[in-house]
Amino acid sequence: MVLYDDASGDSGIKDGFLTNAIPCLSPNANQRPQGQPISLLVIHNISLPPGQFGTGYVTDFFTNQLDPSRHPYFQTIAGLQVSAHLFIERKGRVTQFVSFDRRAWHAGASSFQGVDNCNDYSIGIELEGCDNIAYTDAQYDALARVSRLILAVYPAIKLDRIVGHSEIAPGRKTDPGDAFDWARYRALLDEC
């Protein structure tokens, strides 16, 4: 079920939140630096445990509720405080964890065009997935819809300022990986 439908007429962004996303606030966020325009969109992937989908553990992770005893991998990430603005599940369902107007903790040590600390000026979208498994049609559709809204509300984000996590943290991060079809995504953005 896709909870994001531009045809409904209600789709939009109000006070930093998508009107049709599922809200689930993360404590892992803070204020952006004053006067810092939002000028970058970063595409990520995540699955917990790695390579498994639909578990609900990503929500637990972003809200500091992940039980490390549930899987050996969770012990390696226990105590990390991470978030993203949006999470798009395999069926296209969109959850918003952080207002776009606040700094989500998604990029880590990062730099874009010589400017460090990408969390300060970026919006982070996590796709449920991993580097080497194809993303779903529903995910591409949802990602394109929310991206178009973000581009309209935050005009400092230009098409050339939509990047993968791997581009802002090379050598440290590889997502969204080879499975992400950038040409398909950009073609969907051009349809608006």
* Distance in angstroms (rounded) separating the CA atoms of residues 77 and 6: 36
Q: How far apart are the first and last CA of the chain?
A: 22
Residues written for the chain = 192
Max intra-chain CA distance, the chain: 45
Chain CA centroid to CA 145, Å:
13
Task: Give the residue numbers marked as catalytic.
Answer: 126
* Distance in angstroms (rounded) separating the CA atoms of residues 87 and 21: 10
The DSSP line for 50-94 is TT--S-SHHHHHHTT---GGG-HHHHHHTT-----SEEE-TT--E
